[in-house]
Structure 1
């Protein structure tokens, strides 16, 4: 790599204060809650540093061409305000567990980027530029020094991914930079698997199952005999995806509870199954029905990212709360909606790439015999219905189970959904919109 100045490594042994020093937030006791709780008892002003602009009117500079903005007082706005009242203070981190960063400069204008016209979305505050810069520096150091993620000619693509901004805007309640780095390493590792095994940098559907299975053992360890264990251990450093998975997961499990780590492994298995379905269709030149494509996208989607929002936030959603069917519906709808956002913003990028890429507008156009423009606009409608369903399901769950960790988790997932859209909208290095309006 060219010498671009000193880059700090983030190896565990070099961190003077590892994230494991952060104490677990105590679980609030039921007697602290109001006897007859109502939703309004648990939602109030936003907890710093999160601020959400007044949604009425929506500033044109924040989200352009999005007439379907958040109505004041909506269910999602109540979720985003977060819990308050008796028994809720224990779920918040009282102070950052690291030396305070310099005060950020006065925010400038919002990042450039045009939202998909008609897309139902919500504006988000500009992320803390100091945090963005620090996360960007640390993740590049990790990529170069610890896992040798990319050759010199890929450096521009790595920088253009803007992963620092991505993770800061998606996790506004992360108490420390170390917590943000948990999500950032995992995001970069997942992207490396997608690029190197599936798509842009040598990926192929042929033999994908074997590659994914062996890479999965870097996050879900192989337990075998003494004779064969060394060969497996050696394999974990044999290619970029396995090096990245192994390192990122080691950091994650050093902070996450066993339940949180197992939840993440489960969601990664879901993701890999979705990769395999898409690869099978590519090998047989099959264009799925629209519902089949959407089913595949429920697995090949962003779900592993918002599902770790509590780990990154420095607390835990108890396993029984996470396993509730209504919570599972909320998480699934969040993953589905955010993944269709990716389909819409990456549409022209994928059309310009070699080969045929399945995305929702392409599948709708072929299966429903629509023009490219009409299929794209229908895909926007599909996203909007999924987004509304997510918000309604989250509000219903908040009312049915107004426990502080549940409310904070719902707030975190909603913030991730909005941050994911903001990153797609502002990442003009990677994405540009089709000329359909």
Structure 2
């Protein structure tokens, strides 16, 4: 896959980044390319440039309702990432677009292609003249920390929607006729276009879309209300996982395994989606995805075990489970969908692993919050953060829900701080672009939850 650009030499880079940097600089010298200047040192916005407490937030900074929760930008953040000072809590939720910080190359700024270039820009594009805002019919959770996103390209949304439905019906026979309304209501085309605005083509978007639909089918049919059960889940997940991570057996038994991949809709979906993915991905990207899917399946099994034993976990135990049973496999493929590769040694850095974990954790608590009433209305007891908080901390339903909002906000703050720290420590172009892609995915995931009123509604707590 194409490398997104050259990186500057910087002695403070982690070992893996320094090795990668030396390699690309040597290549540049061999081919007579100039090395970008001005990136060798991360610069910090002076503290005196920050607004006074109580002053209006700078253009582009998100502001949310809860008092005492403020943007946290670590020391050493690169130039362009505004230093944040405490902002007076407004009387209602006010949101504005994510700042264009300069610590990552820009993604698309509209429906054109200018933002698709992976080359680092000395000056970021100007912000839109009018701040972005949530759509008029969006579900607004008071106090929730989030960033609005541009409306997804309607042409791409329609095309992805048509292609994914054709794949689901014609290629993998994913669902019976009476599930069609729910499939359409999922609005997966809008979801994936919002999460991956830098995808070069619709084919790249379809890689993520098939995997998303396949993962959802496994969750629904194996774990949740559409035939799912905790009983025997481990065996079903193991066999489904072999559609992602193939079995290498003897000639006598290999055909029986291959035939089993067509036995039910989840396995058919996993097999087909993975076949498309490996055609687009590098071997390293494919192996990374398999690892994160194993994490996901481990989280499914932990939740199922608690369900079988009627165990309500401690809050920290629930959050540990959610670090595995979460959205991480989706943002982890943001480079594949974007048409480039974050090298394996840079992906494996502890700082990057922390960023991905926090992104997945925050995104998954978003799901807990928006699906709360949907899950309460479903048969059986569904485990989500407000339910666990109410039980373990003896809170009312309302107070537990509001506490879950605070947990989400803390995770988002930590995610953004960890991203800025890593960008300052390792300003390799592929790292910067990947961090931007993960942040955009987090925002797109929230946008989809917030605007999908077919699936979600909010509790009457306000």
Instruction: Provide, for residues 85-131 of structure 1, a one-character-per-residue CA deviation record: whole Å limited to 9, x for no partner.
Output: xxxx9x9369xxxxxxxxxxxx9993621221100000100010000
Instruction: Provide, for residues 341-382 of structure 1, a one-character-per-residue CA deviation record: whole Å limited to 9, x for no partner.
Output: 000000000000000000000000000000000000000000
Task: Say whether the 8 Å CA contact 2:103–2:424 is kept in structure 1.
Answer: no
- Equivalent residue for 2:329, pick from 304, 317, 320: 304
Task: Say whether the 8 Å CA contact 1:121–1:421 is kept in structure 2.
Answer: yes
- Equivalent residue for 1:82, pick from 101, 106, 111: 106
- Equivalent residue for 1:394, pick from 394, 415, 419: 419
Corresponding residue for residue 127 of structure 1: 152
Displacement of 1:200 in angstroms is 1.9
1:270 counterpart = 2:301: no
Corresponding residue for residue 140 of structure 1: 165
1:67 counterpart = 2:67: no
Corresponding residue for residue 282 of structure 1: 307
Task: Say whether the 8 Å CA contact 1:303–1:331 is kept in structure 2.
Answer: yes
Over aligned residues, Cα RMSD in angstroms?
A: 2.7
Secondary structure of the equivalent of 2:280? Answer: coil
1:257-406 alignment to 2 at 5 Å? 257-406=282-431
Secondary structure of the equivalent of 1:187? Answer: helix
Provide closer, same or farther for how the CA distance between residues 27 and 394 of structure 1 changes in structure 2, counting only shifts above 3 A.
same
Displacement of 1:295 in angstroms is 0.1
CA distance in structure 2 between the partners assigned to 1:416 and 1:80 by the alignment = 14
CA distance in structure 1 between the partners assigned to 2:279 and 2:345 by the alignment = 22
1:101-120 alignment to 2 at 5 Å? 110=135, 112-120=137-145
- Equivalent residue for 2:245, pick from 194, 216, 220: 220
1:28 counterpart = 2:24: no
Secondary structure of the equivalent of 2:147? Answer: coil
Instruction: Provide, for residues 6-65 of structure 1, a one-character-per-residue CA deviation record: whole Å limited to 9, x for no partner.
Output: xxxxxxxxxxxxxxxxx5336526542437623469xxxxxxxxxxx9636889xxxx99
1:425 counterpart = 2:450: yes
TM-score (normalizing by structure 2): 0.78
Corresponding residue for residue 67 of structure 2: none
Task: Say whether the 8 Å CA contact 1:197–1:211 is kept in structure 2.
Answer: yes
Task: Say whether the 8 Å CA contact 1:68–1:119 is kept in structure 2.
Answer: no
CA distance in structure 1 between the partners assigned to 2:104 and 2:180 by the alignment = 36
Displacement of 1:143 in angstroms is 0.3
Provide closer, same or farther for how the CA distance between residues 214 and 432 of structure 1 changes in structure 2, counting only shifts above 3 A.
same
Secondary structure of the equivalent of 1:254? Answer: helix
Displacement of 1:77 in angstroms is 4.0
1:409 counterpart = 2:437: no
CA distance in structure 1 between the partners assigned to 2:4 and 2:134 by the alignment = 39
Provide closer, same or farther for how the CA distance between residues 154 and 390 of structure 1 changes in structure 2, counting only shifts above 3 A.
same
Instruction: Provide, for residues 215-249 of structure 1, a one-character-per-residue CA deviation record: whole Å limited to 9, x for no partner.
Output: 00000000000000000000000000000000000
Secondary structure of the equivalent of 1:118? Answer: coil
CA distance in structure 2 between the partners assigned to 1:377 and 1:272 by the alignment = 29
Instruction: List runs of 5+ in structure 1 lacking aligned partners.
Output: 1-22, 42-52, 84-88, 95-106
CA distance in structure 2 between the partners assigned to 1:160 and 1:319 by the alignment = 36
Provide closer, same or farther for how the CA distance between residues 129 and 208 of structure 1 changes in structure 2, counting only shifts above 3 A.
same
Instruction: List runs of 5+ in structure 2 lacking aligned partners.
Output: 9-24, 26-34, 45-57, 65-89, 108-113, 120-131
Instruction: Provide, for residues 137-169 of structure 1, a one-character-per-residue CA deviation record: whole Å limited to 9, x for no partner.
Output: 000000000000000000000000000000000
Corresponding residue for residue 37 of structure 1: 40
TM-score (normalizing by structure 1): 0.82
Provide closer, same or farther for how the CA distance between residues 384 and 230 of structure 1 changes in structure 2, counting only shifts above 3 A.
same
CA distance in structure 1 between the partners assigned to 2:365 and 2:157 by the alignment = 25
Task: Say whether the 8 Å CA contact 1:270–1:300 is kept in structure 2.
Answer: yes
Provide closer, same or farther for how the CA distance between residues 246 and 280 of structure 1 changes in structure 2, counting only shifts above 3 A.
same
1:137-286 alignment to 2 at 5 Å? 137-286=162-311
CA distance in structure 2 between the partners assigned to 1:275 and 1:359 by the alignment = 13
**Structure having the higher Rg:** 2
CA distance in structure 2 between the partners assigned to 1:262 and 1:70 by the alignment = 37
Task: Say whether the 8 Å CA contact 1:66–1:115 is kept in structure 2.
Answer: no
